[in-house]
């Protein structure tokens, strides 16, 4: 089973990367208002049971993939 995980910085947390990209896109003349940058991860699980996979993924995200102090996460299971 595959999981796609998206990890984003919490709204109130400064995103220097995103701001730098935003500024340069603006300078390049693109109609951009804002850019926020996060992570995308693909995790292949050796677990066929969806409910179990769900549980595992949630734990993995909390423990390792995201830093709950500054980040939010969201994942989706497939296949």
Partner 1 sequence: MEPRVWREMGLTDEEYNRILELLGREPNILEVGIFAVMWSEHCSYKTSKPILKKFPTEGPQVLQGPGENAGIVDIGDNLAVVFKMESHNHPSAIEPYQGAATGVGGILRDIFTMGARPIAVLDALRFGPLEEEHNKYLLSGVVAGIGGYGNSIGIPTVGGDVYFHKSYSGNPLVNAMAVGLLRHENIAKGVAKGEGNPVMVIGARTGRDGIHGATFASVELSEESEAKRSAVQVGDPFMEKLLMEACLELIEADALVGIQDMGAAGLTSSAVEMAGRGNSGIELELSLVPRRETGMTPYEIMLSESQERMLVVPKAGREKEVEEVLNRWGLEAAVIGRVTNDGLLRVLEDGKLVAEIPVKALTEEAPVYYRPAAEPAYYQELKSKCFDSLELKGTAEEVFLALISNPTIASKEWIYRQYDHQVGTNTVVLPGGDAAVLRIRGTKKGIALTTDCNSRYVYLDPYLGGALAVVEAAQNIACVGAKPLAITDCLNFGNPEKPEIFWQFEQACAGVAEACRVLGTPVTGGNVSFYNETSGAAIYPTPMIGMVGLIEDLSQILGNTFRSEGEQIYLLGELEGELSGSEYLAQLENMEAGKLPELDLQEIKRRIDFLLELNKQGILLSAHDVSEGGLAVALAEMTVKYGATVNIKGSNQLKKLFGERLGRIIISISAQNAPKLEASAKDAGIPLVHLGESGGNTLKVMFNETCCLNVPLATYRPLFEQAIANRMNSKA
Partner 2 sequence: MKIGIVRFPGSNCDIDCLEAWRVMGEEPKLIWHQETSVQGFDLIVLPGGFSYGDYLRTGAIARFSPIMNDVIRFAKEGGLVWGICNGFQILTECGLLPGALLRNAGLHFICSPQYLRVENNKLAFTNCYEQGQVIQIPISHGEGNYTIDDDGLKALQDNGQIVFRYVTPEGEASAEGNPNGSRDNIAGIVNKKGNVLGMMPHPERVVEEITGGVDGKGMFLSILKAWEGRV
What are the residues binding partner 2 (CB under 8 A)? 12-14, 16-17, 20-21, 24, 27-28, 37, 63-65, 67, 69-70
Closest separation in Å from C-beta 77 to its own copies: 13
| Pairwise CA distance, residues 1 & 74, whole Å | 16
User: Rounded to the nearest whole angstrom, what is the least distance from the CB of residue 26 to partner 1 in the complex?
Assistant: 11
- Residue 13 or 32: the one with the smaller Cβ distance to partner 1 is 13
Q: Which DSSP letter does residue 22 get?
A: H
Torsion sign (Cα): 56, 59, 62, 64: negative
Is residue 25 near its own copies by the rule CB under 8 A?
yes
Residues with Cβ within 8 Å of residue 45, at least 6 apart in sequence: 1, 2, 3, 53, 56, 57
**Toward its own copies, which CB reaches closer, 34 or 50?**
34
């Amino acid at each position: 089973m595959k999981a796609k995980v998206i990890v984003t910085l919490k709204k109130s947390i400064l995103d220097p990367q995103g701001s730098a990209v935003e500024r340069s896109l603006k300078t390049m003349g693109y109609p951009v208002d804002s850019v926020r940058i996060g992570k995308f991860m693909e995790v292949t699980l050796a677990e066929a049971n969806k409910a179990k996979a769900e549980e595992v993924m949630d734990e993995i995200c909390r423990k390792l993939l995201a830093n709950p102090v500054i980040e939010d996460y969201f994942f989706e299971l497939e296949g």
